[in-house]
Amino acid sequence: MGPATASPRPTSAHDRTGSDRPYWLRVAREVADDLATDAVAREQAGKAPVDEVSRLREAGLLTPPAAAETDGGGWDWAAALAVVREIAAADGAIGQLLGCHYFLAGSSRFFAGPALAAQIEERSAAEQWCWGGGFARQEPALTLTRSSGGLVLNGRQDYTTGVLAADRIAVRAVRADTGAPLAVVVDADRPGVVIDAAADTFGRRLAAGGSVEFDDVAVAADEVLGPLSADEDFLPPRTALASPVAHLVSVQVLLGTAEGTLAEAREYSRTGQTPLHPAWPVGSPHDPQVLTTYGELTVLTRSASALADQALGAVQAALALGDELAYDEYAEVAALVTMAETAASRAAQESTTRALDIVGPRAASARLGFDRFWRNARTHTLYEPLGHQLRDIGDYFLNGAQPPFALPA
């Protein structure tokens, strides 16, 4: 079955302003249900998710989360993260794409001045831009050089999420004269921007990942969002919150993947036919081994979810403090988010691996597509190694060391 073209019910202009959080979650569930109908076929086809992004755009889900914060609506970071989790449960790669989009589209709130941030968010919401790219440090770095005609961007950014479907690409670049790292955003259609779709990852095939070559790409002054200091001590705590927010996106993608895996495995367990035990069919509700596995995975996922809620509450409180946020308060928030990401990573890896054991030999069937959950989760966690996160948590607990300012790859 090919990609479905049906979109959720039309949204009115009033609805798209973020009138209430339940509305956005309802829309997310409608889109998630739509994506779930052909998730296996689309993932196996591995085409650029142009149709999927259109579904998100038609539903108004490409609106930057910060754009409605001053309007008194319910479209804030908490609502956006809940949407990411809902979409990720149906399609982990599209959840990854959407989460990356939300962070990048809202990043101007962290790196740019208020006026520029508001201008960018307003245009992005009105035109429903899709954002791709990333601010993670890489070598060799992209360079921003001043020429007679203004600033130009050069270099190559390797595999990064969203670029195959992006209207705007946000990247980290260094000033050629000073070496200062900066957050920069450019139009994906600008001359000199060459996007390479030749990505060969075994997971996240629909995350619109690719590489981007920048060849003397013109960069306007208002497309330089602000500094990305190499030393977090030079970043105000309010700006440094970009890191925990970005990692919270990762948490929701991982939790959505774990929950989606368990939901689909449960459905198969109730209807599956492959024998695993002489007395019961595979996944039967009467199989003690299956019941125990589901119990363990449910506890693991619910525990990670509770820690994620605690981390989200801490981030929301820190955002509310604004410039009054202290460094030690930021450190506590960053450590808590790192703990949540570690727990979510374990939940996703355990759930996607052990669900295959529950289903049994039929889990190897390409038609069922159970492998996509494991491949998506494993690809995601390769970019955010669990060992590094545990080391940072231990260093904070034992020595009080502030977790490093690091944006996800």
**Cα 319 from Cα 248, distance rounded (Å):** 13
Sequence letter at residue 86: E
Measured distance CA(52)–CA(298) in Å, rounded: 30
pLDDT of residue 16: 43
Q: Answer for the pair 165, 189: CB distance below 8 angstroms, yes or no.
A: no
Output Rg (C-alpha) for the chain, integer angstroms.
21
Task: Give residue 231's pLDDT.
Answer: 57
Residue spans of the domains in the chain: they are 15-130, 133-229, 233-399
The pLDDT score that the predictor gives to residue 73 is 59
pLDDT in tens, the chain (409 residues): 333 333 333 343 334 444 578 899 999 999 999 999 999 999 999 899 999 999 999 999 999 986 544 454 578 999 999 999 999 999 999 999 999 999 999 999 999 999 999 999 999 999 999 999 999 888 899 999 998 889 999 999 988 899 999 999 999 999 999 999 999 999 999 999 999 976 678 889 999 999 999 999 999 999 999 998 755 456 788 889 999 999 999 999 999 999 999 999 998 888 764 333 344 454 456 678 888 999 999 999 999 999 999 999 999 999 999 889 998 999 999 999 999 999 999 999 999 999 998 888 888 888 889 999 999 999 999 988 888 899 999 999 999 998 888 888 7
pLDDT given for residue 280 in this prediction: 43
Question: Do you find a cis peptide bond into 140, omega within 30 degrees of 0?
Answer: yes
CATH homologous superfamily of 133-229 equals Butyryl-CoA Dehydrogenase, subunit A, domain 2 (2.40.110.10)
d(CA 329, CA 323): 12
Dig out the tokens for 190 from the structure.
């600008």
DSSP 8-state code for residue 214: E
What confidence score (pLDDT) does residue 284 get?
57
**Confidence at residue 29, expressed as pLDDT on a 0 to 100 scale:** 96
The DSSP symbol for 255 reads H
Contact 107, 135 (CB under 8 A): yes
For residue 198, what pLDDT is reported? Answer: 64
Q: How far is CA 36 from CA 22, 32, 256, 309, 352, in A?
A: 21, 6, 13, 25, 17
What per-residue confidence (pLDDT) applies to 149?
83
Superfamily of domain 233-399: Butyryl-CoA Dehydrogenase, subunit A, domain 3 (1.20.140.10)
Q: How many CB atoms within 10 Å of residue 158?
A: 13
Cα diameter, the chain:
79
Buried b (16+ CB within 10 A) or exposed e, 76-86: bbbbbbbbbbb
- Residues 164-176: tens digit of each pLDDT: 999 999 999 999 9
- Is the domain spanning 15-130 CATH 1.10.10.10? The answer is no
* Alpha helix (H) residue ranges in 234-287: 237-240, 242-271
Angle subtended by helix axes 92-106 and 242-271, to nearest 10: 160
* pLDDT value of residue 108: 93
With vertex at residue 81, the alpha carbon angle to CA 334 and CA 245, rounded to the nearest 5 degrees, is 25
